[in-house]
A and B are shown apart, each in its own frame.
Chain A
Amino acid sequence: MGMRFKISRRQNPRRLHSGLVLLAAVGLSLVICALLLEQQGKPSLRGLMLLFQGAFGSGWALQDSLIKAVPIFLCSLGVAIAFRLQIWNIGAEGQYALGALGASWVALHFPDLPWFVLQPAMLVAATVCGGLWGLLPAVLKLRMRANEIIITLMLNYIAIFLLDYLVYGPWKDPSSFGFPMTRMFSQNAVVAKIGAGDLHWGILLCLVIGMLVWIFLGFTRLGYEIRACGENVQAARYARMPYAALVLLVMAASGALAGWAGFLEASASLNRLEPSIMAGYGYTAIVVAWLARLNPLFIGLAAFLLAGLRVGVEQLQLELQIPASFGQIMEGLILMTVLGGSFFVTYQIRLLKKE
């Protein structure tokens, strides 16, 4: 009965220790997922093996995972910039949709422009649309103190209805036999593939922008101010940091990056706009950003892993008839266990012996 605990903050958290906690957390979620598969009468070990093979087991699988990682990476990078300032942008999904809309508008209206004009124009349109969709909640937060979590979420729903309206209505391809989709983009509007494989040049864009964001956040004055304001708004305001301007900046950047993801997905992956473009990348991006501790380099890795999870789950669907929502369960579990695990990284628990 006389067991008592003392919980105190660790003085110097160690790398190895946090690595072990991370492993344990992911392991725990894998065990829970295996149990879930058993409960459904599916072979759990074979399931997890298939998942891994489907995601990373072959050249094709790796390539698929890499392609899917592109939109997740871009959305997540944006989300992370906002999270650094403790601005909870849950709206990557909507900003992504708006980016896709903007790019598609350009692609459908100016199909005959040469590619080196058309594609930059699409990128600009995606930047503007996504950025504005991100700026709106920032303005409402600053002027009206409206909670950005709720506003960005509501804007997600509104964006999806807007997209549906366009592809079911004015933008519908007359020769699509009633399917809700736009015309195919002209070849000039499609981001080209690298060599003979399926990888497109968007990957290069990701690498460049990832490096730029990494430098921006880590080595520039603005990046420092974003972090400082995020850690303590009062102190930062006292030091005359431009909090309001930073909020506008991070939300515009956040929205623009998600918009780029929408542009690449519409152009390179689907070659048109259709409702299936909304695959929940914007929500996965939040998981990725948090797992990567908002660090752009880790975001690349985490985006690749969670994209692999999605590709692997498709394999599970084919081989074992396991629904795609299994991947969502895994995402939720991993986020939850890692979140719980970070307690053991930050704090140490000592057992106090009773005298």
Chain B
Amino acid sequence: MDDLIFIVAITLKSSPAVLLASLGELISERGGILNLGVEGMMLVGALAGFVTARQSASLALGLCGAMAAAGLLALLHAFLCVHLRADQVISGLAVTILGTGLSSFLGRPFIGQTGLHFSSIGGTWIDGLPLIGPLLAQQNLFGLLCLAAVPALMYLLGRTWLGLYIRAAGQDPAAADAAGVPVAAIRYGCTLFGGCMAGLAGAYLSLAYTPGWKEGMTGGQGWIAIAMVIFATWHPLRALLGALLFGLLNALQFYFQATGIELIPAYILHMLPYLLTVGVLVLVTVLEKPVLGSVPGALGKPFSREE
């Protein structure tokens, strides 16, 4: 029983970064812009979040800093893709290269420094709750709040005019434009939102999950988040499922390490999240034949009235 609680608790704790990043990417792609810069934006967000929180002694400002820094990179990507009609794959890769370089260049003085971080909510009345008490005790406020983004985005996409505009801009921008949807503005907004979410995802790592700044601390979670959007077939609820799956693998890794059970060699365990991502992409076509039907129709294609 204790083992189970341990695994579930770690699962919950290690999934928010992938969840936030994939929700952001999901909105960006629903609007028609493929953003392969998530990994770079997460790294920049992780550094900016950590440094801002440390200098300002405020976690809230730290989160704002993370969103602002990653959001700037996202605006750059949006400018290249929307106005300059650049290839979105190359632009995204450029953002990742730039973001990785910038975070490692500017972050060097902060390696190994301690700063503020979100502490777990345990040690209060929460511990006493039956069953979920010990589970919640290990979580932090930031991670739990992330879960609220799932219903919020489901509502936004499914029930509001803005959601309709977003889906239209990603599905058929020409028709949307004819109907009066400001396609360019929507696409900017979606990309910016995706960037801010990636920034928050990075900040979750540097302010809550493994407090502090470490070079390349995302370890490919940005790419995994992009894969999870495909796994989720562009639906927020299934993005949550994907993120939890990622978290579970992480938890199992910790569990095997903590208990010393060598069921699987440690190196294979490290590979598991990446193997899982490959598996998940394969699985999604096996389980669900018409998966391509849910790809936003104009994903990755620039739109302009003249052409």
Report A's interface with B, CB cutoff 8 A: 6-9, 36, 88, 90, 140, 144-147, 149-151, 153-155, 157-158, 161-162, 164-165, 169, 283, 286-287, 290, 323, 325-333, 335-336, 339-340, 342-343, 347
Contact of B271 among A157, A283, A339 (CB under 8 A): A157
Q: Inside 8 A of A343's CB, which chain B residues have their CB?
A: 83-86
Q: Inside 8 A of B307's CB, which chain A residues have their CB?
A: 9
- The answer to whether B220 touches A153, judged by C-beta atoms less than 8 angstroms apart, is yes
A99–B277 Cα distance when bound, in Å, is: 23
Contact of A340 among B86, B230, B274, B282 (CB under 8 A): B86
Contact residues of A: prevailing secondary structure: helix
**Nearest 8 CB-CB pairs, A to B?**
A332-B98, A328-B101, A332-B97, A329-B101, A325-B104, A165-B267, A343-B84, A335-B94
Beyond contacts A335-B93, A339-B84: 14 other A-B pairs, Cβ-Cβ < 8 A, are: A8-B306, A144-B286, A145-B285, A146-B278, A150-B230, A154-B220, A155-B278, A157-B220, A323-B104, A326-B101, A328-B97, A328-B105, A332-B98, A347-B85
Instruction: Give the most central of B98, B102, B265, B292: most A CB within 10 Å.
Output: B98
Q: Inside 8 A of B304's CB, which chain A residues have their CB?
A: 7
Contact of A157 among B108, B226, B274 (CB under 8 A): B274
- The answer to whether A331 touches B101, judged by C-beta atoms less than 8 angstroms apart, is yes
A146–B284 Cα distance when bound, in Å, is: 9
Instruction: Give the most central of A154, A336, A339: most B CB within 10 Å.
Output: A154
Q: Inside 8 A of A146's CB, which chain B residues have their CB?
A: 278, 281-282, 285
What are 6 contact pairs spanning A and B, CB under 8 A?
A: A8-B306, A145-B291, A149-B89, A158-B274, A335-B90, A343-B84
Q: What sequence of 0s and 1s flags, for each residue 221-235 of chain B, a beta carbon within 8 Å of any chain A beta carbon?
A: 001101100100000
Report B's interface with A, CB cutoff 8 A: 36, 76, 79-80, 83-87, 89-91, 93-102, 104-105, 108, 220, 223-224, 226-227, 230, 265, 267, 270-271, 274-275, 277-278, 281-282, 285-286, 291-292, 304, 306-307
A145-B292, A336-B91 given; A287·B282 CB < 8 A: no
Q: Inside 8 A of A9's CB, which chain B residues have their CB?
A: 307
A151–B274 Cα distance when bound, in Å, is: 9
- The answer to whether B267 touches A290, judged by C-beta atoms less than 8 angstroms apart, is no
CB A5 to nearest CB in B, in angstroms, measures 11
- The answer to whether B292 touches A286, judged by C-beta atoms less than 8 angstroms apart, is no
Q: Inside 8 A of A325's CB, which chain B residues have their CB?
A: 100-102, 104-105
Contact of A140 among B91, B95, B98, B282 (CB under 8 A): B282
- The answer to whether B95 touches A332, judged by C-beta atoms less than 8 angstroms apart, is yes
- The answer to whether B281 touches A290, judged by C-beta atoms less than 8 angstroms apart, is no
Contact residues of B: prevailing secondary structure: helix
A83–B86 Cα distance when bound, in Å, is: 16
CB B86 to nearest CB in A, in angstroms, measures 5
A165–B269 Cα distance when bound, in Å, is: 11
Contact of B90 among A155, A164, A290, A331 (CB under 8 A): A290
Q: Inside 8 A of A162's CB, which chain B residues have their CB?
A: 267, 271
A335–B37 Cα distance when bound, in Å, is: 13
Residue of A nearest to B34 (CB): A149
A333–B101 Cα distance when bound, in Å, is: 10
Q: Inside 8 A of B76's CB, which chain A residues have their CB?
A: 336
A150-B277, A286-B93, A339-B87 given; A326·B98 CB < 8 A: no
CB A290 to nearest CB in B, in angstroms, measures 6
A169–B104 Cα distance when bound, in Å, is: 29
- The answer to whether A153 touches B223, judged by C-beta atoms less than 8 angstroms apart, is yes
A88-B89, A335-B93 given; A328·B104 CB < 8 A: yes
A158–B91 Cα distance when bound, in Å, is: 25
Instruction: Give the most central of A283, A327, A335, A336: most B CB within 10 Å.
Output: A336
Residue of A nearest to B292 (CB): A145
Instruction: Give the most central of B76, B94, B285, B286: most A CB within 10 Å.
Output: B94
A339–B85 Cα distance when bound, in Å, is: 10
Residue of A nearest to B102 (CB): A329
- The answer to whether B223 touches A336, judged by C-beta atoms less than 8 angstroms apart, is no
- The answer to whether B94 touches A150, judged by C-beta atoms less than 8 angstroms apart, is no
A194–B277 Cα distance when bound, in Å, is: 45
A335–B286 Cα distance when bound, in Å, is: 37
Q: Inside 8 A of A336's CB, which chain B residues have their CB?
A: 76, 80, 91, 94-95, 98
Q: Inside 8 A of B275's CB, which chain A residues have their CB?
A: 154, 158
Q: Inside 8 A of A331's CB, which chain B residues have their CB?
A: 97, 101
Q: Inside 8 A of A340's CB, which chain B residues have their CB?
A: 79-80, 84, 86
Q: Inside 8 A of B90's CB, which chain A residues have their CB?
A: 290, 335, 339
Contact of B278 among A6, A151, A165 (CB under 8 A): A151
Q: Inside 8 A of B80's CB, which chain A residues have their CB?
A: 336, 339-340
Residue of B nearest to A322 (CB): B105
Q: Inside 8 A of B97's CB, which chain A residues have their CB?
A: 283, 287, 328, 331-332, 335
Residue of B nearest to A347 (CB): B85
Q: Inside 8 A of A88's CB, which chain B residues have their CB?
A: 89
Q: Inside 8 A of A323's CB, which chain B residues have their CB?
A: 104-105, 108
Q: Inside 8 A of B85's CB, which chain A residues have their CB?
A: 343, 347
CB B81 to nearest CB in A, in angstroms, measures 10
A287–B89 Cα distance when bound, in Å, is: 12
Residue of B nearest to A154 (CB): B274
CB B95 to nearest CB in A, in angstroms, measures 7
CB B106 to nearest CB in A, in angstroms, measures 8
Q: Inside 8 A of A332's CB, which chain B residues have their CB?
A: 94-102
Q: Inside 8 A of A150's CB, which chain B residues have their CB?
A: 223, 226-227, 230, 277, 281
Q: Inside 8 A of B224's CB, which chain A residues have their CB?
A: 154
- The answer to whether B271 touches A158, judged by C-beta atoms less than 8 angstroms apart, is yes
Residue of A nearest to B40 (CB): A332
Residue of B nearest to A286 (CB): B93
Q: Inside 8 A of A90's CB, which chain B residues have their CB?
A: 93
A328–B39 Cα distance when bound, in Å, is: 15
A325–B80 Cα distance when bound, in Å, is: 24
- The answer to whether B100 touches A144, judged by C-beta atoms less than 8 angstroms apart, is no
Residue of A nearest to B282 (CB): A144
- The answer to whether B91 touches A339, judged by C-beta atoms less than 8 angstroms apart, is yes
Q: Inside 8 A of A8's CB, which chain B residues have their CB?
A: 306
